[in-house]
Structure 1
Amino acid sequence: MTGETLLHDDQLSDNQSTQTPLEELSVSPLHDDDELSDNQPVQKTLDGLSISPLPKVRTTDGFILNWDRNIIVNRLLKETKLSEIFYSKPSITKEEAVDIAKEAEKIIKKMNIKFLSGPLIREIVNNILLDRGHVEWRNIMTRVGASVYDAYEIDTGYGFEANDNANQLNNAETSHKRKADKMSKEQNLLLMPKELADLHLNGDFHIHDLEYMGTRPFCQDWDLRYFFYYGLMPDGVGTQSSVAKPAKNAEVAFLHAVKAMGSAQTNFAGGQGFYNFLTFMAPYLEGKSETEIKQLMQMFVYEMMQMMCARGGQTVFSSVQLSPGVPKLWRNIPIVAMGKIWDGKQAPLRTYGEFEKEVRLGFKALMDVMLEGDAWGKPFSFPKPEISIEPDFMEEDKEFNRTHPDLPTYKELYRMTFELAAKFGTPYFDNQLPEYRGAGKGISCYQCCAYQFSANPTDDVEFNDKLHFKDGKHFSMGSWMVLSLNCPRAAYRAEHDDEKLFNELKSLMNKGVEVFKIKRKWMNNLIKKNRIPFAAQRPKDPNTGEKGAMAVDFESLVYTIGVVGINEMVQYHTGYQIHQSPDAYKLAIRAMFEMKMHAQKLSRETGMEIALARTPAETTAQRFAVSDLLHKEYAGKAESTIKGNVQAAKRDLNQTHDLPIYYTNGTHLPPDADVSLPERIRYEHTFFPIVDGGNIMHIWLGEGKPDPDGLQELAMYIAKNTQTGYFAFTRDMTVCIDEGYVADGLLDRCPKCKSENVQHLSRITGYLQSVEGWNKGKRQELLDRKRYSTQELR
């Protein structure tokens, strides 16, 4: 229970005994020999008065205990201490605890029962607390978890959050995670102020990864140099795992990268990535043949896809930022590898610019591996290849190409990414050409499901030190948490008044910041207790023997406010969707600017860096739509804007909340918008510079064999002529489970063996995954998507 996880017995006063916790007293089947005999010993109360015998109580740890009112007193004294931590209100006094215990005892005596359990005792105590107006104490004392029936449903793959995360598998670890998630979510909602908890429960906003709100940051993009300098300490403390020295050879370097990503999943709620992956890895590839490099890349990809160690036994949600050469920013920077900074002091001077060959060969090898697919011919979902389109590589290095005619050019390497896009739709294109991306002036990357992170000399006084890895300083980019706003609901409340709409959105943002503050307060407490050891590790410096730099700079993590349903918001407000009216389009832009400026204002006032982002909304887009349909005040208004099969949703609303309806993600046009691709690009690219926390443009491909040249031509046009910062081409595929065969499109049966035992693959929000794990809202969106042929792309 929460009291035992945050408080210890040594915090009890001297006259308190460590009794069996109430939550360990459980309901067990009542057998004949459990009935009490008439000659049971009379129990003695705290005040010395004799009372009639009460039933014995069974405990979950395998004991039958005599009734003891002291247990209630001690648990009240111990557990309500959390009220001081979470509610800033005093804990119970001993006098009131004794009084409540007496009242509970009287109630139990009047019930005249033969069987007594901990949950029953706790509910009686909680009712007394509510009757006396102690809501906070009741919230802390209550039980969280699932009924036996709900737990069984989770075990069999149904029930709680069965389709909330398409990356989770149907296995025992997933069942275990969902049970833990249910308990943790209830706990975290009970421990935050009721007003904020209700905003989440009512669907005004959505707290992402609520189950980890009190225990983990959200996501992280890592600087590989950290592990190449310090080595690998998977547990973060060195006592439960073996500590490895810095990698000296390529195979170990790749394995350290894999294990670092996997270990980080134990400390973070979201995805993990490596920016500038090939440049930092290149020194380990020196002297390797193309065959050897390909083998290493193959090992890396398979390790990432076969390491089922992430939360709930799922694949590690991972990404790698890939450049076809060494970016100019890094060419004159001393390398960090093999436990040294090669700056002429710790080791002979070597700079990353010397490893252009290795980067190009590494890029080619990784594309070759991904183009081949796995043994069945399926694409690799992870690590997500984030292809960086940078100014540095828009023109060839003619001198280098002349002296190395056997190496692929930048154009040829980029061409391979479009072959991969045409075959599997795997790559994501990180467009750093627009001025607002700041390529060449700083560090910028996309990660997780399209969140953007950056560091630059203007905002970071230690930027140059981090660039040179001085004293272990390095780039640490990630997010504390994500909270998304139900933007359509703000419009329903505003009733066509612009200023009221903006104020509704800003008010939700203000409330969201209060959640951020709670998150940080809780996390600060855990960081002090070293409960996030991998992220907070400080390994021994291999050269000085002193403690090194902390792995994650928690102060640099941002807080992300996501938006869902901007299209439906303006649709209700103006009567038109974004693409249907200039007024609707302008209102969407104005609203986003209002929110961005307010986020900047909140950042200045709170000292917390708050970023505005498009939310992937795998579950949230559906949840908001269902919440509005359930709410009498909004249902009539929502029906006119909700996407999907509204009539089917209304029919089944009382049976399930997994319904085929949704709001449009972020600032996108609706998936079924009947517009040409150039029109879709023209509308959606406008929002990229506004949402500094990340965005993505989806291009759904409709034909079986797209033309790679057509994709490359379109992609380069987008990169050079629009503000689009991140985009992907998505293909639908069918996998035959019986035959191990992959076919184009969403088919009912295998075209090779005619088996109906098939699964479908597509991109759900920001990653490729089996459609069978999607919720009904996302499945409906999949059907609604307008797909484009290569001819339409030109």
Structure 2
Amino acid sequence: MIEIKDSQQEPIDISIHSKKVVQSTLDGNTISPIPKVRTTDGHVIEWNREAIISQLIKDTTLGESFSGKPSITKEEATEIAISVENQIRSMRISFLSGALIREMVNRELLERGHIEWRNVSTRIGTPVVDACEIDLGTGFEANENANLQGNAETSHKKKADKISKEQYLLLLPPKISDLHLNGDIHIHDLEYLGTRPFCQDWDLRYFFYYGLMPDGNGTKASVAGPAMKAEVAILHAVKALGSAQTNFAGGQGFYNFLTFLAPYLEGKEYKEIEQLMQMFVYEMTQMMVARGGQLVFSSVQLSPGVPKLWKDKSVVYKGKVWDGIQSPHRREYGEFEREVRLSFKALMNVMLQGDYWGKPFSFPKPEISIEPDFMQEDELFNKSHPELPTYDDLYTMSFKLASKFGTPYFDNQLPEYRGAGNGISCYQCCAYQFSATPGSDAKFDEKLDFNNGMHFSMGSWQVVSLNCPRAAYRSNGDDKTLFANLRALMDESIKLFKIKRSWMTKVMDANRMPFVTQRPKDPRTNQKGEIAVDLNALVYTIGVVGINEMVQYHTGKQMHESKDSFKLAIRAMIEMGQYAKKLSEEHGMEIALARTPAETTCQRFAVSDLLHTDYREKAELVIKGDVQLALKNLGKTRDLPVYYTNGTHVPPGAGVSLTERIRIEQAFFSIVAGGNILHIWMGESAPDPKGLKDFAMNIAKNTQVGYFAFTKDMTICQNDFHVMSGLHDTCENCGSNNVEQLSRVTGYIQAVGGWNAAKKQELIDRQRYSISNMV
């Protein structure tokens, strides 16, 4: 028996293992029984002290598996349970919930100095008022992702996001959690940290050989064999990207899309091919099936012809590798130059038409590949096929699309550092670069040939961005200290990456990433085929935010204002790039330094630095946007019109010529190997497509810019469906103010109404370039 005391400090004997609290009488006073418990799993049950004991052991054992901290002993769990039981009896309450009991247990844990046990024993959730605000489209991260539409699925996603973020921050080592919460680093897609990798560029041949298993294991969804017709191949491609969204946090895409698809288009007339391309685009932009009921964030790499690397490679489609062994005869991708050219033309025409209202398609993002293979015409082929468009014709069409809608992204593979002649390189998501070469992949040639189902997996496990301006605030003008601070943040990122991989191993062991780890039925052997994603090939990405403001505080000048500031930015990035290589070797993981999209991160870091009194005065000197308005509303909301410049960019509002902007920004592309982008804001201008192409090809051939986009601002009237160039508050056609503005938020075009306050401020600040500036 254990002696505890009631509210009058009278001793009462209670059996440790009793299932109910015994009513006792002392000096004529009756102790009220503990009321029944309303549990979090939806039941009302009798009080049971053993439930606290077993739950504490379960919770802290979980903590031990995640953090290595020892779990609680049964003796200490029993002491805590009895103490909590005594407190409840002394409160003489008539209502008792599982949540209240947990709060009392957690208080006991904190008082006993066990914060590590408290972190895994606490509840996660949201106040009722916050949940209601989410239902109405306000409150928690209302404009965190411009691709989200306001609907019931979004409400569920936001609530789940909130819970998941709390969960992972509690499970992470406190130092890493604090670095994120304090704004030193930003863990991207924190809500998915423990359940999925970040993004993926898929090898379409995989699905053309194995068929489609949308659920990854064949038990929940119907399994389809390899596509035999073009229409089915298109639908399989669409559904593969949609299904992949259940297992990944970021964008999904196909590299070399048209070449791999081309065999299905063999011999078809242009009109039929255009209809198929139209079906593909509409399917991708009408599936509101991604997380929270949003469109699938998708991209396709498009070459105007068959790249040399693939010309002599065996075709993979209809469930066969057409190598003359598995198939009646050998077929090579070089045979399908006609189909690639026509499908490129068709896809451009579909996107040029826009949708039924005439507005642009946001997805799939067309990544136009500017490759050495297509800088000169294949004159022999052109003479033999005068009815087909030339490479120049096709590139011109892509710039016509850029002039009209600003839709395409241009993947420049001409610079030597892109390694186009040595392997595969692509951009994906909002500007992440991935590659595979014989030097980096021992099975490169086997994957080229699709031997035994081997294929390419290019993507990222996780992204962490660094608050670079804050590193400068702490450096007091000393270069060595600045570089040391940046390296220290990279070290912490490595710790996070290792934890991520450890957690993901548990997830995979529990078969919770079935689409990623699927091994479909091989149509030739009837045995299990190759795994869908080679997880060892995925990289870990460290992103930079605010390099311009970092050097601005450190030197007193911005990158475009001083050669010394520009040189410091280059030095810092080289230091980080070299350190990333060192970390890769030391830890056996590929670390990619990148410019992250930072749709919310640029704002979050700026707001965080204003919130912290240690940094506020320093941050006020360099933050972009409306700082005074932000300070005025700092206590009311975190969605404020301030931001740091993204990546290594010149500030959006800097009054520099386009030539000067390109000169500065191009220097970072070969350093930032994980991905970068040059934004050219056109506003409402619509340059001559051929002139725009000449200008862009000059960038491609004579600079180090590896990826760039021309952004066109537009307005859609939702009253009469009129599409206008530029940003307008009212419709020029009917006068209605029921309009929606469109522009590129980071790496994709989306309605401005869903942007956060910082991105809306950036939209105002952007330096736009007219036709005369560019061409």
Q: TM-score, normalised by structure 1?
A: 0.94
Partner residue in 1 for 2:626: 645
Q: 1:155-234, aligned counterparts within 5 Å? A: 155-234=135-214
Mapped partners of 1:476, 1:734: distance in 2: 38
Partner residue in 2 for 1:284: 264
Give the letter for the 1:132 counterpart. R
Mapped partners of 1:204, 1:416: distance in 2: 44
Give the letter for the 2:565 counterpart. A
Partner residue in 1 for 2:669: 688
Match of 2:497 among 516, 528, 543: 516
The 3-state SS of whatever aligns with 2:700 is: helix
Mapped partners of 1:417, 1:501: distance in 2: 43
- Residues 703, 153 of structure 1: CA spacing in aligned structure 2 closer, same or farther, 3 A cutoff? closer
CA contact (8 A) 1:227 1:256 kept: yes
Please tell me whether residue 138 in structure 1 is matched to residue 118 in structure 2: yes
CA contact (8 A) 1:703 1:790 kept: no
Please tell me whether residue 447 in structure 1 is matched to residue 428 in structure 2: yes
- Residue 176 of structure 1 deviates from its aligned partner by 0.3
Mapped partners of 2:55, 2:585: distance in 1: 43
- Residue 530 of structure 1 deviates from its aligned partner by 1.1
Partner residue in 2 for 1:114: 94
Mapped partners of 1:226, 1:333: distance in 2: 15
- Residues 567, 435 of structure 1: CA spacing in aligned structure 2 closer, same or farther, 3 A cutoff? same
Match of 1:422 among 389, 400, 403: 403
Partner residue in 1 for 2:381: 400
Mapped partners of 1:147, 1:307: distance in 2: 32
CA contact (8 A) 2:40 2:98 kept: no
CA contact (8 A) 1:477 1:557 kept: yes
Q: CA offsets, 1:306-335, max 9 Å, x none?
A: 001000000000000000000000000000
The 3-state SS of whatever aligns with 1:613 is: strand
Mapped partners of 2:743, 2:179: distance in 1: 32
CA contact (8 A) 1:562 1:612 kept: yes
Partner residue in 2 for 1:657: 638
- Residue 709 of structure 1 deviates from its aligned partner by 1.9
Partner residue in 1 for 2:547: 566
Partner residue in 2 for 1:25: none
CA contact (8 A) 2:301 2:367 kept: yes
Partner residue in 1 for 2:131: 151
Mapped partners of 1:767, 1:198: distance in 2: 31
Match of 2:530 among 549, 571, 585: 549
CA contact (8 A) 1:732 1:761 kept: yes
Mapped partners of 1:62, 1:277: distance in 2: 49
The 3-state SS of whatever aligns with 1:693 is: coil
The 3-state SS of whatever aligns with 1:526 is: helix
CA contact (8 A) 1:80 1:137 kept: yes
Q: TM-score, normalised by structure 2?
A: 0.96
Please tell me whether residue 729 in structure 1 is matched to residue 710 in structure 2: yes
Give the letter for the 2:670 counterpart. P
Partner residue in 2 for 1:370: 351
- Residue 66 of structure 1 deviates from its aligned partner by 1.9
Give the letter for the 1:50 counterpart. V
Mapped partners of 1:514, 1:703: distance in 2: 45
Mapped partners of 1:524, 1:153: distance in 2: 36
- Residue 726 of structure 1 deviates from its aligned partner by 0.1
The 3-state SS of whatever aligns with 2:742 is: strand
Give the letter for the 1:755 counterpart. S
Please tell me whether residue 463 in structure 1 is matched to residue 444 in structure 2: yes
Q: CA offsets, 1:194-213, max 9 Å, x none?
A: 00000000000000000000
Match of 2:317 among 328, 332, 337: 337
Partner residue in 2 for 1:50: 22
- Residue 707 of structure 1 deviates from its aligned partner by 1.8
CA contact (8 A) 2:466 2:489 kept: yes
- Residue 59 of structure 1 deviates from its aligned partner by 3.2
Q: CA RMSD in A?
A: 1.1
Partner residue in 1 for 2:466: 485
The 3-state SS of whatever aligns with 1:700 is: strand
Match of 1:259 among 227, 239, 258: 239
Please tell me whether residue 740 in structure 1 is matched to residue 732 in structure 2: no
Match of 1:698 among 663, 679, 687: 679
- Residue 58 of structure 1 deviates from its aligned partner by 2.3
CA contact (8 A) 2:685 2:770 kept: no
- Residue 57 of structure 1 deviates from its aligned partner by 1.9
Mapped partners of 1:315, 1:553: distance in 2: 26
Mapped partners of 2:427, 2:645: distance in 1: 21
Match of 1:299 among 279, 295, 299: 279
- Residue 47 of structure 1 deviates from its aligned partner by 6.0
CA contact (8 A) 2:684 2:713 kept: no
Partner residue in 2 for 1:10: none
Give the letter for the 2:317 counterpart. A
Mapped partners of 2:241, 2:508: distance in 1: 20
- Residue 118 of structure 1 deviates from its aligned partner by 1.1
Match of 2:364 among 383, 387, 392: 383
- Residue 43 of structure 1 deviates from its aligned partner by 9.2
Mapped partners of 2:416, 2:115: distance in 1: 53
Please tell me whether residue 636 in structure 1 is matched to residue 608 in structure 2: no
Mapped partners of 1:518, 1:496: distance in 2: 34
The 3-state SS of whatever aligns with 1:388 is: strand
Mapped partners of 1:685, 1:704: distance in 2: 24
CA contact (8 A) 1:735 1:761 kept: yes
Please tell me whether residue 244 in structure 1 is matched to residue 237 in structure 2: no
Mapped partners of 2:67, 2:683: distance in 1: 54
CA contact (8 A) 1:236 1:537 kept: yes
Give the letter for the 2:22 counterpart. S
The 3-state SS of whatever aligns with 2:466 is: strand
Give the letter for the 2:171 counterpart. L
Q: CA offsets, 1:656-709, max 9 Å, x none?
A: 110000000000000011111100000000000000000000000034332212
Q: CA offsets, 1:224-244, max 9 Å, x none?
A: 000000000000000000000
The 3-state SS of whatever aligns with 1:701 is: strand
CA contact (8 A) 1:385 1:428 kept: yes
CA contact (8 A) 2:257 2:301 kept: yes
Partner residue in 2 for 1:624: 605
The 3-state SS of whatever aligns with 1:632 is: coil
Mapped partners of 1:433, 1:509: distance in 2: 30
Mapped partners of 1:63, 1:222: distance in 2: 45
Mapped partners of 2:637, 2:43: distance in 1: 40
Mapped partners of 2:42, 2:320: distance in 1: 56
- Residue 263 of structure 1 deviates from its aligned partner by 0.1
Give the letter for the 1:630 counterpart. L
Partner residue in 2 for 1:786: 767
Mapped partners of 2:614, 2:300: distance in 1: 45
Partner residue in 2 for 1:676: 657
5+ long unaligned stretches in structure 2: 1-12, 24-30
Q: CA offsets, 1:384-409, max 9 Å, x none?
A: 00000000000000000000000000
Aligned residues with identical type, % of pairs: 68
Mapped partners of 1:159, 1:420: distance in 2: 37
Mapped partners of 2:97, 2:441: distance in 1: 58
- Residue 750 of structure 1 deviates from its aligned partner by 0.7
- Residue 711 of structure 1 deviates from its aligned partner by 1.1
CA contact (8 A) 1:327 1:440 kept: no
Please tell me whether residue 316 in structure 1 is matched to residue 288 in structure 2: no
CA contact (8 A) 1:455 1:463 kept: yes
Give the letter for the 2:17 counterpart. L
